[in-house]
Structure 1
């Protein structure tokens, strides 16, 4: 006999609890996130499973994992929760008299690279749109977009995106940053093998940038010797000035600091140095007007950059990275 499900019995708090428990891998942590007692959370999920007629979570000593029906339920629960959050933000904006609201999460490479200039152009074109920005790890950006905490996100292209949609929004070259008097500063291009013999100043190991560098080290069978970890590119360069190591950063993010601090910037060899950033979203046709406008600007910018890169292939080579004509 077919199990009858009444959609009116679905409760937003229970949906949020289910999503939080799956993402945390723990009903206890999910309940804490929702500020619900563990017995109350267990009761809610038991009633939910009874209503849908399926076991949604497998409970064990290590926590909880979704069953096959649970994964299907999770996908729709995330969509419902995200839609409600977007609706709430839109209504608040109308009460404020704002022309819209754009929630964008991005990684550090985007914030220190192309993003500020892009947002300046966007704000000039859409001055009534309120920007809500968050600097986060690429993995956190993906989760925020998937859950509806952000409508758009910018991440490194070595980050799994699940069911999200993506389009290229920027590319840059990884460069070696080091003191001008360092022995490697005399080389035109520094082999990654030589770089990895020195102490490294880097960002958090979980960042897409550091994962790319770690992958290069693994490919060479070498150990990545991180001496100092800091939060931003400016801090990386300051630690290098202090003599605590050398670092690898995207060119656009490194050039301003290198110039002001008297550091050297050298190209790398022996590893993939091209780095691409992606703009991610849940479903482009469902985007708000402010988000759709930014996606359109990103596409137009990429078309212009593609034309510039095609022209650059026939232009003279600039040996000094800090004087690159397209920075």
Structure 2
């Protein structure tokens, strides 16, 4: 029987993304030796190696690829369970659960959520980052009260309201060979060292899938823990990256290049359940007030 805990999966996933135990240890707040011991113990208990270790770092072998897919599902289910149980643990509080994709969570929500909370000091808001398709599924399943998603389709249980538009842009340092361009194709970034966001970023997973559709694999030179860290690394010449335009417009030393692909333009929408009869009158009033605050720029 396989035996591992959630911390094991987080260490494994961080190493898979970073390609380095030293970098991965920073993301999961362990020392490199502790992270290495956990990974070695995990491989021992599973009964097989999960990585190919080389002078340029670590990459998943065939068994590791299989384990990585399962680890992602388990971590996603764990996050979902924590979110659902928190509703009961804090049932007496005024609480909203908001699922948002990376663009919304980092660009549009902070100011509007902050304004709402300043006038509602007794309310708690949980903002959980997910991929846009997962947001629709989880709000429809009543795991959250509100979703902010770039999903373009419809759902029979949900209503959608236009929220905001944003664009994913390529980032290069001043003086870079691409810096003089007015726009670029995503694939033009592939030859250069890439700075990723991680270790758990729905947006980064989205970009990995877009690269795979073009027959390429993005293997970041370094994975930063926030968009601010990504911007600083690009400024210093560590590589190139892709971020929402809203988080980079006020930074010096960065050249912002619109991507030419249609998927780079993101039409964000608010989604919520059509049937809200299972909510209390107070909860529905709270949701209505929050949606109004979101729609007020």
- Per the TM superposition, whether the score is higher than 0.5 is yes
The structure with the largest alpha-carbon Rg is 1
Residue 187 of structure 1 and its aligned partner are, at CA, apart by 0.9
Alpha-carbon contact 1:129-1:290 (below 8 Å) kept: no
Pick the aligned partner of 1:279 from 260, 263, 270.
270
Normalising by structure 1, what TM-score? 0.53
Residue 108 of structure 1 and its aligned partner are, at CA, apart by 3.5
Residue 103 of structure 1 and its aligned partner are, at CA, apart by 3.1
Provide the residue aligned with 1:60 in structure 2.
Answer: none
CA offset digits 1:165-189 (Å, max 9, x no partner): 3524322011111101101001111
> Which structure shows the bigger proportion of residues in helix conformation?
1
Normalising by structure 2, what TM-score? 0.57
Alpha-carbon contact 1:145-1:151 (below 8 Å) kept: yes
C-alpha change, 1:102 and 1:248, in structure 2 (3 Å) is same
CA offset digits 1:79-121 (Å, max 9, x no partner): xx96x97576443x3xxxxxx3323343442232011222234
Residue 254 of structure 1 and its aligned partner are, at CA, apart by 2.0
SS at structure 2 position matched to 1:223? coil
Provide the residue aligned with 1:170 in structure 2.
Answer: 164
Structure 2 CA distance for aligned equivalents of residues 108 and 137 of structure 1: 7
Structure 2 CA distance for aligned equivalents of residues 86 and 150 of structure 1: 9
Provide the residue aligned with 2:190 in structure 1.
Answer: 196
Structure 2 CA distance for aligned equivalents of residues 283 and 113 of structure 1: 27
User: Which deviates more from structure 2 when the two are superposed, residues 161-170 or residues 189-198?
Assistant: 161-170
CA offset digits 1:124-172 (Å, max 9, x no partner): 5x424412333434377668656756433434438x9988635243220
Structure 2 CA distance for aligned equivalents of residues 114 and 155 of structure 1: 12
C-alpha change, 1:161 and 1:135, in structure 2 (3 Å) is farther
Provide the residue aligned with 2:176 in structure 1.
Answer: 182
Residue 283 of structure 1 and its aligned partner are, at CA, apart by 4.9
C-alpha change, 1:141 and 1:192, in structure 2 (3 Å) is closer
Alpha-carbon contact 2:99-2:146 (below 8 Å) kept: yes
Provide the residue aligned with 1:250 in structure 2.
Answer: 244
Which structure 2 residues correspond to residues 39-58 of structure 1 after superposition, within 5 A?
A: none
SS at structure 1 position matched to 2:184? strand
Alpha-carbon contact 1:240-1:247 (below 8 Å) kept: yes
C-alpha change, 1:136 and 1:200, in structure 2 (3 Å) is same
Residue 294 of structure 1 and its aligned partner are, at CA, apart by 1.7
* Structure 1 segments unaligned to the other structure (5+ residues): 1-25, 30-77, 94-99, 305-327
Which structure has the higher relative contact order (CA within 8 Å, separation 6+)? Answer: 2
Provide the residue aligned with 1:136 in structure 2.
Answer: 129
SS at structure 2 position matched to 1:188? coil
Which structure 2 residues correspond to residues 50-199 of structure 1 after superposition, within 5 A?
A: 86=87, 89-91=90-92, 93=93, 100-123=94-117, 126-138=119-131, 145=139, 150-157=144-151, 165=158, 167=160, 168-199=162-193
Structure 2 CA distance for aligned equivalents of residues 163 and 204 of structure 1: 33
Structure 2 CA distance for aligned equivalents of residues 137 and 85 of structure 1: 17
C-alpha change, 1:135 and 1:85, in structure 2 (3 Å) is closer
Structure 1 CA distance for aligned equivalents of residues 262 and 219 of structure 2: 17
Structure 1 CA distance for aligned equivalents of residues 158 and 137 of structure 2: 13
Provide the residue aligned with 1:295 in structure 2.
Answer: 291
C-alpha change, 1:152 and 1:243, in structure 2 (3 Å) is same
| RMSD (CA atoms) | 4.1
Which structure 2 residues correspond to residues 202-217 of structure 1 after superposition, within 5 A?
A: 202-204=196-198, 207-217=201-211
Residue 233 of structure 1 and its aligned partner are, at CA, apart by 0.8
C-alpha change, 1:240 and 1:85, in structure 2 (3 Å) is closer
SS at structure 1 position matched to 2:117? helix
Residue 235 of structure 1 and its aligned partner are, at CA, apart by 1.5
Check if 1:240 corresponds to 2:234.
yes
Structure 1 stretches of 4+ with a deviation exceeding 4 A read 84-88, 139-149, 160-164
C-alpha change, 1:156 and 1:270, in structure 2 (3 Å) is closer
